[in-house]
Amino acid sequence: MFTESVRCSKIPVIFLVGILLASPLLAEPDNRPEWKEVDWLELMPPEDLLLLESMPEIDHDGEGPVTLPDEIMTGRVVPEMDQTAARIPGFVVPLKVVGSEQRIVEFFLVPYYGACIHVPPPPPNQIIHVTYQPGFTLDVLYEPMWVQGVLRTESVENDIALASYVIEADLVEPYE
Protein backbone atom coordinates (compact mmCIF):
# COMPACT_ATOMS: atom_id res chain seq x y z
CA MET A 1 0.00 0.00 0.00
CA PHE A 2 2.80 2.43 0.88
CA THR A 3 4.65 1.74 -2.37
CA GLU A 4 1.54 2.41 -4.48
CA SER A 5 1.04 5.83 -2.95
CA VAL A 6 4.67 6.70 -3.65
CA ARG A 7 4.29 5.67 -7.27
CA CYS A 8 1.09 7.68 -7.64
CA SER A 9 2.64 10.81 -6.16
CA LYS A 10 5.54 10.63 -8.67
CA ILE A 11 3.17 11.00 -11.60
CA PRO A 12 2.06 14.55 -10.79
CA VAL A 13 5.67 15.58 -10.13
CA ILE A 14 6.82 14.18 -13.47
CA PHE A 15 3.82 15.85 -15.12
CA LEU A 16 4.69 19.23 -13.54
CA VAL A 17 8.36 18.94 -14.55
CA GLY A 18 7.27 18.17 -18.11
CA ILE A 19 5.03 21.24 -18.21
CA LEU A 20 7.81 23.45 -16.85
CA LEU A 21 10.25 22.18 -19.45
CA ALA A 22 7.75 22.64 -22.26
CA SER A 23 6.50 26.07 -21.14
CA PRO A 24 9.06 28.06 -23.19
CA LEU A 25 7.71 26.30 -26.27
CA LEU A 26 4.15 27.30 -25.32
CA ALA A 27 5.03 30.93 -24.54
CA GLU A 28 3.57 33.83 -26.46
CA PRO A 29 5.43 34.76 -29.66
CA ASP A 30 8.16 37.37 -29.30
CA ASN A 31 6.51 40.80 -29.51
CA ARG A 32 9.73 42.77 -29.99
CA PRO A 33 9.60 45.00 -33.05
CA GLU A 34 11.38 44.22 -36.28
CA TRP A 35 14.10 46.90 -36.43
CA LYS A 36 14.21 48.84 -39.71
CA GLU A 37 17.67 50.05 -40.65
CA VAL A 38 17.13 53.73 -41.45
CA ASP A 39 19.25 55.81 -43.82
CA TRP A 40 19.63 59.49 -42.86
CA LEU A 41 18.18 60.68 -46.17
CA GLU A 42 14.93 58.84 -45.33
CA LEU A 43 14.41 61.43 -42.57
CA MET A 44 14.27 64.29 -45.09
CA PRO A 45 11.00 65.03 -46.89
CA PRO A 46 11.16 65.02 -50.71
CA GLU A 47 10.99 68.83 -50.96
CA ASP A 48 14.15 69.14 -48.82
CA LEU A 49 15.95 66.54 -50.93
CA LEU A 50 15.05 68.53 -54.07
CA LEU A 51 16.41 71.72 -52.49
CA LEU A 52 19.68 69.97 -51.64
CA GLU A 53 20.04 68.60 -55.15
CA SER A 54 19.53 72.05 -56.67
CA MET A 55 22.11 73.79 -54.44
CA PRO A 56 25.26 75.07 -56.11
CA GLU A 57 28.56 73.43 -55.26
CA ILE A 58 29.93 74.64 -51.93
CA ASP A 59 33.03 76.84 -52.06
CA HIS A 60 35.14 75.89 -49.03
CA ASP A 61 37.58 78.77 -49.61
CA GLY A 62 34.90 81.43 -49.16
CA GLU A 63 34.41 83.78 -46.23
CA GLY A 64 32.35 82.62 -43.26
CA PRO A 65 30.55 79.35 -42.61
CA VAL A 66 28.66 77.42 -45.24
CA THR A 67 24.93 78.01 -44.91
CA LEU A 68 21.96 75.98 -46.04
CA PRO A 69 18.72 77.45 -47.42
CA ASP A 70 16.31 78.59 -44.69
CA GLU A 71 13.65 76.24 -46.08
CA ILE A 72 15.81 73.21 -45.25
CA MET A 73 16.48 74.51 -41.74
CA THR A 74 12.76 74.55 -40.83
CA GLY A 75 12.96 70.96 -39.58
CA ARG A 76 10.28 69.39 -41.73
CA VAL A 77 9.85 65.69 -41.02
CA VAL A 78 8.67 62.60 -42.85
CA PRO A 79 5.39 61.80 -41.02
CA GLU A 80 5.55 58.13 -42.03
CA MET A 81 8.72 57.75 -39.95
CA ASP A 82 6.82 58.47 -36.72
CA GLN A 83 6.72 55.39 -34.45
CA THR A 84 9.19 53.47 -36.63
CA ALA A 85 11.19 50.79 -34.81
CA ALA A 86 14.50 52.09 -36.12
CA ARG A 87 18.17 51.17 -36.10
CA ILE A 88 20.38 54.01 -37.34
CA PRO A 89 24.13 54.65 -37.31
CA GLY A 90 25.62 58.01 -36.49
CA PHE A 91 27.92 60.10 -34.36
CA VAL A 92 27.31 61.19 -30.78
CA VAL A 93 27.16 64.77 -29.55
CA PRO A 94 26.91 64.37 -25.75
CA LEU A 95 24.32 66.50 -23.93
CA LYS A 96 24.13 64.86 -20.48
CA VAL A 97 26.91 62.83 -18.85
CA VAL A 98 26.51 61.23 -15.40
CA GLY A 99 28.55 59.42 -12.78
CA SER A 100 32.25 59.07 -12.16
CA GLU A 101 32.52 56.77 -15.19
CA GLN A 102 31.08 59.57 -17.37
CA ARG A 103 28.16 57.61 -18.88
CA ILE A 104 26.37 59.44 -21.69
CA VAL A 105 22.60 59.29 -21.04
CA GLU A 106 21.41 62.04 -23.40
CA PHE A 107 22.86 63.06 -26.76
CA PHE A 108 22.23 64.18 -30.29
CA LEU A 109 22.83 61.55 -32.97
CA VAL A 110 24.08 63.13 -36.20
CA PRO A 111 25.00 61.71 -39.62
CA TYR A 112 28.63 62.86 -39.75
CA TYR A 113 31.46 63.54 -37.33
CA GLY A 114 31.74 67.14 -36.17
CA ALA A 115 28.10 68.04 -36.79
CA CYS A 116 26.77 70.46 -34.14
CA ILE A 117 30.31 71.15 -32.98
CA HIS A 118 31.08 73.24 -36.05
CA VAL A 119 28.74 76.01 -37.17
CA PRO A 120 26.17 75.72 -38.64
CA PRO A 121 24.53 72.51 -37.38
CA PRO A 122 22.85 70.13 -39.84
CA PRO A 123 19.16 70.60 -40.63
CA PRO A 124 16.93 69.60 -37.68
CA ASN A 125 15.66 66.57 -39.61
CA GLN A 126 19.25 65.32 -39.67
CA ILE A 127 19.55 65.44 -35.87
CA ILE A 128 17.97 62.90 -33.50
CA HIS A 129 17.65 63.63 -29.78
CA VAL A 130 18.42 60.36 -27.95
CA THR A 131 17.97 59.35 -24.33
CA TYR A 132 19.46 56.09 -23.08
CA GLN A 133 18.99 55.62 -19.34
CA PRO A 134 21.59 52.86 -18.82
CA GLY A 135 24.10 55.20 -20.43
CA PHE A 136 27.31 54.26 -22.21
CA THR A 137 30.87 55.45 -22.38
CA LEU A 138 32.65 56.59 -25.48
CA ASP A 139 36.42 56.77 -25.81
CA VAL A 140 36.41 59.13 -28.80
CA LEU A 141 33.67 61.21 -30.43
CA TYR A 142 34.64 60.15 -33.94
CA GLU A 143 33.60 56.54 -33.19
CA PRO A 144 30.26 55.84 -34.95
CA MET A 145 27.49 54.16 -32.96
CA TRP A 146 24.31 52.22 -33.70
CA VAL A 147 21.18 53.50 -31.95
CA GLN A 148 18.10 51.33 -31.79
CA GLY A 149 14.66 52.40 -30.55
CA VAL A 150 11.31 53.78 -31.62
CA LEU A 151 11.76 56.92 -33.73
CA ARG A 152 9.26 59.71 -33.07
CA THR A 153 8.66 62.98 -34.91
CA GLU A 154 9.06 65.45 -32.07
CA SER A 155 11.10 68.65 -31.81
CA VAL A 156 13.73 69.14 -29.11
CA GLU A 157 15.74 72.33 -28.90
CA ASN A 158 18.71 73.26 -26.75
CA ASP A 159 21.68 75.64 -26.92
CA ILE A 160 23.50 73.44 -29.45
CA ALA A 161 20.83 72.65 -32.02
CA LEU A 162 17.24 71.76 -32.87
CA ALA A 163 16.29 68.12 -33.50
CA SER A 164 13.17 67.08 -35.42
CA TYR A 165 13.24 63.45 -34.25
CA VAL A 166 13.65 61.70 -30.90
CA ILE A 167 14.47 58.16 -29.79
CA GLU A 168 14.32 56.66 -26.33
CA ALA A 169 16.99 54.08 -27.12
CA ASP A 170 16.70 50.39 -26.33
CA LEU A 171 20.27 49.81 -27.42
CA VAL A 172 23.39 51.88 -28.13
CA GLU A 173 26.42 49.99 -29.41
CA PRO A 174 29.55 50.57 -31.50
CA TYR A 175 29.09 50.52 -35.27
CA GLU A 176 30.79 47.47 -36.73
User: HEC states along the chain?
Assistant: CHHHHHHHHHHHHHHHHHHHHHHHHHCCCCCCCCCEECCHHHHCCHHHHHHHHCCCCCCCCCCCCCCCCCCHHHCCCCHHHCCEEEEEEEEEEEEEEECCCCEEEEEEEECCCCECCECCCCCHHHCEEEEEEEEECCCCCCCCEEEEEEEEEEEEECCCCEEEEEEEEEEEEECC
User: What residues make up the domain containing 125?
Assistant: 36-54+66-174
Which has the higher per-residue pLDDT, 1 or 132? 132
Q: What is the mean pLDDT of residues 93-102?
A: 95
pLDDT in tens, 123-139: 999 999 999 999 999 99
Q: Kindly state whether residue 28 falls inside one of the protein's structural domains.
A: no
pLDDT in tens, 4-63: 544 544 545 444 444 444 444 444 555 667 899 999 999 999 999 998 887 777 665 666
Q: How confident is the model at residue 85 (pLDDT cuts 50, 70, 90)?
A: very high
Q: Kindly state whether residue 14 falls inside one of the protein's structural domains.
A: no
pTM exceeding the 0.75 threshold for the entire prediction? yes
Q: How confident is the model at residue 90 (pLDDT cuts 50, 70, 90)?
A: very high
Q: Kindly state whether residue 157 falls inside one of the protein's structural domains.
A: yes
At residue 25, the pLDDT reads: 46
Q: Kindly state whether residue 27 falls inside one of the protein's structural domains.
A: no
At residue 64, the pLDDT reads: 64
> Is pLDDT above 50 for 77?
yes
Q: Kindly state whether residue 138 falls inside one of the protein's structural domains.
A: yes
For the chain, what is the domain count? 1
At residue 118, the pLDDT reads: 66
At residue 143, the pLDDT reads: 95
pLDDT in tens, 109-119: 999 998 876 66
CATH number where 79 lies: 2.40.50.870
Q: Kindly state whether residue 31 falls inside one of the protein's structural domains.
A: no
Q: Kindly state whether residue 21 falls inside one of the protein's structural domains.
A: no
Q: Kindly state whether residue 147 falls inside one of the protein's structural domains.
A: yes
